[in-house]
A = this chain, B = another copy of it.
Amino acid sequence: MTTNARKPESDILAAMHETVSGLHRIGLVDQATMRSFDVMCLTTVESLSPAEIRALREREQVSQPVFARYLNVRKDAVSKWERGEKRPDGPSLKLLNLVRAKGLKAIA
Contacts and interface: CB of A to CB of B under 8 A. Distances in A.
Q: How many A residues touch the partner, as a band? A: 35 or more
**What DSSP secondary structure best describes chain A's contact surface?**
helix
A90 B90 contact: no
Given A42-B69, A42-B108, A91-B92, 16 more contacts: A13-B108, A14-B108, A17-B104, A17-B105, A34-B61, A35-B62, A38-B66, A42-B70, A72-B90, A72-B93, A72-B94, A73-B90, A90-B91, A91-B95, A94-B95, A106-B106
Interface of A: 8, 10, 13-14, 17-18, 21, 24, 34-35, 38-39, 41-43, 45, 61-63, 66, 69-73, 88, 90-95, 98, 104-108
